[in-house]
Amino acid sequence: MADVLNIKNLKVIFRTGETFVRAVEGVDIRIGEGERVAIVGESGCGKSVTSLACMRLLTTPPAYIAADEFTFTSSDGTVHNLLEKSESEMLALRAEEMAMIFQDPSTFLNPVMTIGEQLDEVFVYHLHMKPKEARRHSIEMMKKVGIPDPEMRAEQYPHELSGGLKQRILIAMATSLSPRLLIADEPTTALDVTIQAQILALISERCEKEKMSLLMITHDLGVVREMADRVYVMYCGKIVEEGTVDEILDHPLHPYTKALIDTVPGVEEKVERFVQIPHNVPHPSNKPQGCYFSNRCAYCTELCKKKQPPLVSKESGRYVRCYYGTEELWEK
């Protein structure tokens, strides 16, 4: 069976006046059937832009998208070239085949429509159901995502629901038509820590039940460990490391991945001080000349400052963009 998503050399450039911002610079990503893939990296490294490009939710101008390959394979085996789809074709694909949930559910719920009306619309619009039948399905979906007293909740407006319940509604909307791919962009960062685990568990359960593939966008390595089979580490618009979740988290090869891991304090460890990666992610219009991580890297050499390292294959499915990317580096 073909990969659900296949992206080769994706580039996204924003143009504002005479300024060009290269937000995504030649990214390769593939997601297999039923696979759970994470993109991890700090703020501003291009995670959201990549996921929005997949959904074709970036408007041109200012965003310009190019790729050597950019295909989505739907449940019936049809291969869709996402770059060539019309907006109406994308409307059908979104929701029915590829759905997305975002960090802040409030912005995606209509404040003047009840929760029930908004869920009903999915079934009326996509499955052409009559209102009563649609409502029955909405209530059923609300039960599936663990909303207590769904009949009562269906009559309420978004402001009457907590953040966690709103995110459950969004998950219900996104997964009600059993899409083949679910993209979740930081779906728990706006929520209380105690609710986060419940929402992650719900996303996992929905993916398993509906046999959906998952693209999880996060800066949180705990979420990666919990939710992903395979991981892409992204920095300054480029993939710097790729591997299985155990390879990436237990045997990182790129100094950036290692630094990300080192900044997470263990629960049982007594934290003397927070470990930080020095400096900030450079703005896309001001990236270093050589390796983009060179100005923050503890292992940087003259070569790193001069020339961008290529993404090289270490072993099957394992890639790293560093001249010195081996575990021996950490001994130095």
Ligand X SMILES: Nc1ncnc2c1ncn2[C@@H]1O[C@H](COP(=O)(O)OP(=O)(O)OP(=O)(O)O)[C@@H](O)[C@H]1O
Task: Give the nearer residue to ligand X in terms of CB position, either 62 or 222.
Answer: 62
- Omega before 131 cis (within 30°)? no
Based on the shown chain and the rule CB under 5 A, indicate whether residue 218 belongs to the binding site for Mg ion. no
State the Cα–Cα distance between residues 80 and 159, nearest whole angstrom. 38
CB-CB neighbours of 64 under 10 Å: 13
Site residues (CB under 5 A) for Mg ion, limited to 294-323: none
Q: Is residue 199 classed as helix, strand or coil in its secondary structure?
A: helix
Between 179 and 284, whose beta carbon lies closer to ligand X?
284
Pairwise CA distance, residues 254 & 195, whole Å: 32
Contact by Cβ (8 Å): 199, 167: yes
Residue of 25, 38, 46, 48 interacting with Mg ion (CB under 5 A): 48
44 contacts ligand X (rule: CB under 6 A)? yes
Q: Which does 49 bind (CB under 5 to 8 A by kind): Mg ion, ligand X, none?
A: ligand X
Per-residue contact flags (x/-) with ligand X for residues 11 to 30, judged by CB under 6 A? ---x------x-x-------
| Shorter beta-carbon distance to Mg ion: residue 48 or 118 | 48
A 10 A CB-CB count for 301 gives 13
**Out of 45, 65, 99, 300, the residue judged to bind ligand X by CB under 6 A:** 45
| Cα distance from N-terminal residue to C-terminal residue, the chain | 44
Q: Does 55 bind ligand X (CB under 6 A)?
A: no
Enumerate the H helices of 85-244 as residue ranges: 87-96, 115-127, 131-144, 150-154, 163-175, 193-210, 221-227
Pick from Mg ion, ligand X, none: which does 214 bind, CB < 5 to 8 A by kind? none
Among 27, 35, 37, 46, binds ligand X (CB under 6 A): 46
Task: Decide if residue 188 touches Mg ion (CB under 5 A).
Answer: no
| Residue 49 or 297 with smaller CB distance to Mg ion | 49
Neighbours of 58 (CB within 10 A): 18
222 binds, among ligand X, Mg ion, none (CB under 5 to 8 A by kind): none
Question: Is 43 one of the binding residues for ligand X (CB under 6 A)?
Answer: yes
**Bridge partners of residue 104, in order along the sequence:** none
Q: Is 99 helix (H, G, I), strand (E, B) or coil?
A: strand
Q: Where along the sequence are the contacts to ligand X (CB under 6 A)? A: 14, 21, 23, 41, 43-49, 62, 219, 283-284
